[in-house]
Amino acid sequence: MNRWRLIAAVVGSSVAASSFGQVMLGQIDDFQDGTLQGWAGAANPENVATGGPAGAGDRYLRLTAHGNIGIGGVPASFNLTQWAGDYSAAGVSGVTAHMNNFSSVDLHMRVVVFSTSGDRWTSATPVILPAGSGWQSASFSLAQGDLVQVLGSSTYEFTMANVERLLIRHEVNPGPGGTFQAGQIGIDNIQAVPEPASLAAMALACAFLRRPRRV
Ligand SMILES: [Ca+2]
């Protein structure tokens, strides 16, 4: 293969990859456009016009679950659009957000990664939001050691390269389903981030590039 054919093949494969999913490092859902930004599910997702972490005029996503067994019983929401795709290629290995537990009980929040083959990997350790928490920063690692496979048998590598949806939910113990609980939670500034080690590597690379050159 000559050089130009090789370049064409590489460009072609990256176009094919980008048509599958849209997840991008650094993307952030702040809900300021007044929409749900693709966050869906049966827990009555709403865009609330004010009262987010930055106060007046800061919009956020609010979920309300009835707590009974069945549809809409779990404080949860999923996204099939900008949170689907190839996390490995995009360099996304974590999710951060602001969360506010308006409920009278603690909520155990986890992120769940679904693959296109039906696999589910959930946070090994939840972020526990106490009842009436106020706005808190929440950080979820998507590194293999920080996730538990609760459905399917595909590899971690396959799942992260073929994400069908990202789900955020209350889940007391890791499992394929969430935990039924009457409750309400606010979520804002959901961001795709690299793992801390990658951040450190990027900072080091930047420092190296900024270093004066010897002549
Ligand atoms: Ca906001």
Q: What is the mean pLDDT of residues 6-32?
A: 66
Task: Give the pLDDT confidence score for residue 13 in this predicted structure.
Answer: 44
CA of 11 to the centre of ligand 1 (A): 36
CA of 63 to the centre of ligand 1 (A): 15
- Would the pLDDT of 50 be above 50? yes
CA of 181 to the centre of ligand 1 (A): 25
Question: What is the per-residue pLDDT across 146-159, written as a single tens digit (0 to 9) for each?
Answer: 999 999 999 999 99
CA of 110 to the centre of ligand 1 (A): 20
Question: What is the per-residue pLDDT across 60-93, written as a single tens digit (0 to 9) for each?
Answer: 999 999 999 999 999 999 999 999 999 999 999 9
Sorting pLDDT into bands at 50, 70 and 90, what band is 21?
Answer: low
Task: Give the pLDDT confidence score for residue 4 in this predicted structure.
Answer: 45
Mean pLDDT of the chain, nearest integer: 89
Return the higher-pLDDT residue of 14 and 46: 46
**R_g over Cα of the chain:** 19
Q: What is the mean pLDDT of residues 47-56?
A: 98
CA of 52 to the centre of ligand 1 (A): 6
Task: Give the pLDDT confidence score for residue 11 in this predicted structure.
Answer: 41
CA of 150 to the centre of ligand 1 (A): 32
User: Residue 210 has which token pair?
Assistant: 């900024």
Beta strands in 80-134 (DSSP E): 94-101, 107-115, 120-123, 127-129
CA of 70 to the centre of ligand 1 (A): 30
CA of 165 to the centre of ligand 1 (A): 22
Return the higher-pLDDT residue of 20 and 15: 20
Residue from 110, 113, 122, 94 nearest 162 by CA: 113
CA of 31 to the centre of ligand 1 (A): 5
Q: What is the mean pLDDT of residues 120-138?
A: 98
CA of 30 to the centre of ligand 1 (A): 4
Task: Give the pLDDT confidence score for residue 200 in this predicted structure.
Answer: 56
- Would the pLDDT of 141 be above 90? yes
CA of 36 to the centre of ligand 1 (A): 11
Rounded Cα distance, 75 and 47, in Å: 15
Q: The pTM is what?
A: 0.83
User: Residue 151 has which token pair?
Assistant: 């459905």
Residue listed under structure tokens 């069945």:
70
CA of 54 to the centre of ligand 1 (A): 7
Sorting pLDDT into bands at 50, 70 and 90, what band is 195?
Answer: confident
Task: Give the pLDDT confidence score for residue 51 in this predicted structure.
Answer: 98
Give the three-state DSSP class for 173. coil
Rounded Cα distance, 94 and 144, in Å: 11
- Would the pLDDT of 161 be above 80? yes
- Would the pLDDT of 12 be above 90? no
Return the higher-pLDDT residue of 174 and 15: 174
Rounded Cα distance, 58 and 49, in Å: 7
CA of 57 to the centre of ligand 1 (A): 8
CA of 34 to the centre of ligand 1 (A): 9
